[in-house]
Chains A and B, each alone.
Chain A
Amino acid sequence: MNYQDDFRDSRLVAIMAENIAGMAAQLPGPVSFMEVCGTHTMSIYQYGIRSLLPDNVRLISGPGCPVCVTPIGYVDKAVACASDSNNIVATFGDMLRVPGSRSSLMEARAQGADVRVVYSPLDAVALAKAHLDRRVVFLGVGFETTAPAIAASILDAARQGLSNYCVLASHKTVPLPMELLSCDPELGLSGYLCPAHVSTVIGGNAYRKLADTFGVPCVVTGFEPADVMQGIEMLLAQVLAGKSLVEIQYNRAVSWEGNAKAQRILDLVFEPCDAVWRGLGLLPGSGLAIRPELSAFDAEKVLTIVAGEEVENSACRCGEVLKGKLAPFDCPLFATACTPESPVGACMVSSEGTCAAAYKYGR
Chain B
Amino acid sequence: MCLGVPMKVLTINGDDIIAEIDGVRKEASLALLEEKVAVGDYVIVHAGFAISRLNEEYALETLRLMREVFSPEDMQ
Contacts and interface: CB of A to CB of B under 8 A. Distances in A.
B76 interface: yes
Interface in A96-122: 119-122
Interface stretch (A254-262, A296-304, A308-316, A323-331): A254-262
Interface in B3-41: 3-4, 26-29, 31-34
A244 interface: no
Given A4-B60, A46-B68, A252-B55, A197 B34 contact: no
Interface string B35-59: 0000000001011110110110110
B51 to A, nearest CB: 5
A185 B70 CA distance: 34
Given A122-B29, A145-B2, A200 B44 contact: yes
Contacts of B49: 120, 148-149, 152
A201 interface: yes
Contact of A42 (B34, B44, B61, B70): B70
A147 to B, nearest CB: 10
Contact of B4 (A7, A121, A197, A252): A197
Chain B, interface SS category: mixed
Contact of B31 (A43, A46, A152): A152
Contacts of B51: 145, 148, 197, 200-201, 259, 262
Contacts of B58: 4, 252-253
B62 A37 contact: no
Interface of B: 1-4, 26-29, 31-34, 44, 46-49, 51-52, 54-55, 57-58, 60-62, 64-65, 68-71, 73-74, 76
A253 B61 contact: no
A54 B35 CA distance: 42
B56 to A, nearest CB: 10
Contacts of B34: 259-261
9 contacts: A43-B69, A93-B76, A122-B48, A123-B48, A197-B51, A252-B58, A253-B58, A351-B70, A351-B74
Given A42-B70, A94-B1, A352-B3, A197 B46 contact: yes
B73 A146 contact: no
Contacts of A65: 2
A261 B46 contact: no
A254 B61 CA distance: 16
The 7 closest A-B pairs by CB, nearest first: A120-B48, A261-B34, A200-B52, A149-B47, A4-B61, A262-B32, A149-B49
A296 B28 CA distance: 25
Given A65-B2, A253-B44, A152 B29 contact: yes
A221 interface: no
A343 interface: no
Interface string A249-286: 00011100001111001000000000000000000000
A66 B62 CA distance: 22
B59 to A, nearest CB: 9
